[in-house]
Amino acid sequence: MARMSKTMEATAGMNVPLHKPGSRTRKKLMKHWQFYLLVFFPLLYIVIFKYVPMFGVLIAFKEYNVVQGIFGSPWVGFDYFKQLFEAPFFWQYVRNTLEISLYGLLVGFPAPILLALALNEIRNGRFKKTVQMVTYAPYFISTVVIVSILIVNLSPNTGLMSNLYRALGLEPVDFLGIPGLFKSIYVWSDAWQFTGYGAIIYIAALAGVNPDLYEAARVDGATRLQKIINIDIPSLFPVIVILLILNLGNVMSLGFEKIYLMQNPLNQNTSEVISTYVYKVGLLGANFSFSAAIGLFNSVINFILLVIVNFVSRKVSSTSLW
Amino acid sequence: MSRTAIRESVQDRLFLGLVYLFLSVILIVILFPLLHIVSASFSSPGAVSSGKVWLWPVDVTLIGYKAVFQNSNVLIGFGNSLFYAVVGTLVNVAFTVMLAYPLARKTFYVRNIIMMLLVFTMFFDGGLIPNYLLVKSLGMLDTRWAMIIPGALAVFQVIIARTFFQTTIPEELAEAAEMDGSSDITFFLRIALPLSKPIIAVLALMYAVGHWNSYFNALIYLKDSSLFPLQIFLRDILILNSVSAEMVTNVNELLVREGMKDLLKYSLIVVASAPVLMIYPFVQKYFVKGVMIGSLKG
């Protein structure tokens, strides 16, 4: 009873005539002022570390020098972009980036779906748990260690491949030194590392399928394969489309970390991609403006790709990000 | 389940057999290289370099590990990584819940604007050079701050945490507390957070693994080797192949020294991955849960 009268007082208080128009919204905004206190530092972080660098891309249009800083350096317009588009090596790097990304998508996208469908077929038991546990584990291994594992196993001196070649009486090969193999090594080792992790989301989606559907299919005499094609895959379809949009929108932003570590002088031709080139020109070569121009070009292409893919998907399948 | 209650057709049993075969192949393909590394790390240098190690250790010995733990760089890196992982994760989790919780509350009237600000940063960013120049102008280059502050928050994790708060902390509960005179911050600290232990575990796990495994920020922001995390030292030893003389001095013969270099790599790979892989089985259920919450709002 006491609490109730308190509430009534509180609501009555809100109906007191307000001093001036507009202060009602202000009061509504300020009533939970403590929320602003909570978000203050995180938001400050977002503004400084996410939005300020967006203005930093201005240096792509300037002749940046350390003395005059971002704002004082003289404008040069699109000079750096012209320089970039005229360089023959640049298109080679764009092509490498796209080839590795699309190859990676071709292998890495369906693999988790297959794994999830297969796991969904077998009973919950020790075997299923083991497969899940083991396939998720490589996700937790660092990039440096993954590349080290590749190097020790693919080098001519040590590891599984050289063991195998020697056991067969063949001369061991330096696989990472063969330019033609670089993309395959990158893509398949990625599949090795991330298939299990990628499957989790599909496994969750399959767990949510209505059991009545399977029951009805069983009554109709459907085989396991028919159930997969007619029940499982259609259930996964929305998730597949969303993830495909996100992945296609990211084909230009191929990660730096793993490629950089896998590079060596022998495979340079096929392994140089945009992100590694930005790093080498910008930070190692201290050519900030040119490097920022490449980075900006990359971000813009990515953003446009995402918008296009999302648009097409909305037209074709009525599933989209926004 | 009822699916297996009825005797299955020959065709179905054959298909199921293929499924088991497929999964077994995947299991072997993933497990075999890992077991090989662990076995090689416990083998003798000679056995490793002559290619005798396949699945099981040959001439079991611990000298690979001895060499790893005698290396001062590995110890410095281990300590630094531990520091960055612990402090970084504390900052990460605090920032994430502080931002995510108000965004989950309907009474926070500017939440949609802030959400839009956050989501936009997921699709567009300034790129490497502007970020580097920013960290430089803040005077953080070559300090421990550079490993903590520039990555203080991941927008994706904020969205996961927000989804969790929205689904587990009912708006009515907050209203009731408000009527009882509890302030928003008191409610957040005393009621919302204790109810959110699962999501805090998920966030801490994701962030901590990220800190432990990353080398990129250290590569671009740090020059002083006394600040390097383990991954940078790993890169030097494992990938750039610069094994310092210190690590193999007590070995005289050239052949054995070469073998030691190889063996050292295997032991180091195990030492570097062990902390994360050892806690993984215990947190696996949280980890899977985190991915699922994330997928709700893909």
Average pLDDT, 10 consecutive residues per value, chain B (298 residues): 60 92 95 90 80 79 84 90 96 96 90 90 84 92 94 90 88 87 89 89 89 92 94 88 56 62 87 85 76 60
The amino acid that residue A55 corresponds to is F
A253: Cβ–Cβ under 8 A, 6 or more apart, which residues?
A275, A298, A299, A302
| Closest chain A CA to residue B230 | A144
Q: What is the C-alpha to C-alpha distance for residues A245 and B99, in angstroms, rounded to an integer?
A: 27
Q: What is the pLDDT of residue A9?
A: 41
Chain B residues with beta carbon closer than 8 angstroms to that of A39: 98-99, 102-103, 114
Quick check: B99 and A3 CB within 8 A?
A: no
Chain B residues with beta carbon closer than 8 angstroms to that of A296: 127
Q: Which residue among B11, B37, B107 places its CB closest to the CB of A149?
A: B37
Enumerate residue ranges in chain A where pLDDT < 70.
1-23, 319-322
Q: Are B229 and B218 in contact (CB under 8 A)?
A: yes
Q: Are A320 and A314 in contact (CB under 8 A)?
A: yes
Q: In which domain, by residue range, is A180 found? A: 79-317
Q: Are A289 and A63 in contact (CB under 8 A)?
A: yes
Phi, psi of A75 (to 5 degrees): -75, 145
Q: What is the pLDDT of residue B2?
A: 46
Q: What is the pLDDT of residue A322?
A: 66
ipTM of the complex: 0.85
What's the angle, vertex CA B292, arms to CA B287 and CA B295, rounded to 5? 130
Closest by CA to A38, choosing from B258, B192, B9, is: B192
Q: What is the pLDDT of residue B115?
A: 92
In chain A, the number of structural domains is 1
Q: Is A239 helix (H, G, I), strand (E, B) or coil?
A: helix
With a CB-CB cutoff of 8 Å, which residues 21-50 of chain B face chain A? Answer: 22-23, 26-27, 29-31, 33-34, 36-37, 48-49
Q: What is the CATH number of the domain that holds A193?
A: 1.10.3720.10
Closest by CA to A261, choosing from B219, B244, B84, B79, is: B219
A306: in domain: yes
The pTM (predicted TM-score) of the whole model is 0.85
With a CB-CB cutoff of 8 Å, which residues 157-186 of chain A face chain B? Answer: 157-160, 162-163, 166-167
Phi and psi based region of residue B6 (left: phi greater than 0; alpha: psi -120 to 50; beta: remaining)? beta
Q: In which residue ranges of chain B is CATH 1.10.3720.10 found?
A: 72-227
Q: How far is B25 from chain A (nearest CA, A)?
A: 10
Q: What is the pLDDT of residue B175?
A: 87
Quick check: B215 and A46 CB within 8 A?
A: no
With a CB-CB cutoff of 8 Å, which residues 173-202 of chain B face chain A? Answer: 179-180, 183-185, 188
Chain B residues with beta carbon closer than 8 angstroms to that of A152: 37, 238, 262, 265-266, 269
CATH code assigned to B72-227: 1.10.3720.10
A18: in domain: no
Q: What is the pLDDT of residue B194?
A: 92
Q: What is the pLDDT of residue B218?
A: 94
A51: in domain: no
The amino acid that residue B291 corresponds to is V
Q: What is the C-alpha to C-alpha distance for residues B127 and B145, in angstroms, rounded to an integer?
A: 20
A10: in domain: no
Q: Which residue among A29, A39, A295 places its CB closest to the CB of B128?
A: A295
Q: Tell me the pLDDT tens digit for each residue of B191-231.
A: 899 988 888 988 998 899 899 999 999 999 999 999 999 99
CA–chain centroid gap for B99, Å, is 22
DSSP state, A306? H
- The answer to whether B92 faces chain A, any CB pair under 8 Å, is no
With a CB-CB cutoff of 8 Å, which residues 25-84 of chain A face chain B? Answer: 28-29, 31-32, 34-35, 37-39, 41-43, 45-46, 48-57, 59, 69-70
A45: in domain: no
Q: Which residue among A53, A136, A144 places its CB closest to the CB of B134?
A: A53
- The answer to whether A304 faces chain B, any CB pair under 8 Å, is no
Q: Are B261 and B244 in contact (CB under 8 A)?
A: no
- The answer to whether B203 faces chain A, any CB pair under 8 Å, is no
β-pair partners for A75: A62
Best probe of the B interface among A49, A114, A126, A218, by most B CBs < 10 A, is: A49
Quick check: A3 and B180 CB within 8 A?
A: yes
Q: Which residue among B27, B102, B216 places its CB closest to the CB of A257?
A: B216
The amino acid that residue B35 corresponds to is L
| Closest chain A CA to residue B177 | A3
Q: What is the pLDDT of residue A7?
A: 41
Phi and psi based region of residue A272 (left: phi greater than 0; alpha: psi -120 to 50; beta: remaining)? beta
Q: Are B148 and B87 in contact (CB under 8 A)?
A: yes
A118: in domain: yes
DSSP per-residue string spanning chain B: -HHHHSPPPHHHHHHHHHHHHHHHHHHHHHHHHHHHHHHHHTS-HHHHHTT--SSS-SS---HHHHHHHH-HHHHHHHHHHHHHHHHHHHHHHHHHHHHHHHHH-TT-TTHHHHHHHHHHHHH----HHHHHHHHHHTT-TTSTHHHHSTTS--HHHHHHHHHHHHHHS-HHHHHHHHHTT--HHHHIIIIIHHHTHHHHHHHHHHHHHHHHH--HHHHHH---GGG--HHHHHIIIIIS----HHHHTT--SHHHHHHHHHHHHHHHHHHHHHHHHHHHHHHHHHHHHHHHHHHHT-
With a CB-CB cutoff of 8 Å, which residues 247-286 of chain A face chain B? Answer: 249, 256-257, 261, 275, 278-279, 282-283
With a CB-CB cutoff of 8 Å, which residues 137-156 of chain B face chain A? Answer: 137, 149-150, 152-153, 155
A181: in domain: yes
Q: How many CB pairs under 8 A join A and B?
A: 285
Chain B residues with beta carbon closer than 8 angstroms to that of A140: 209, 213, 273, 276-277, 280
Q: What is the pLDDT of residue A22?
A: 62
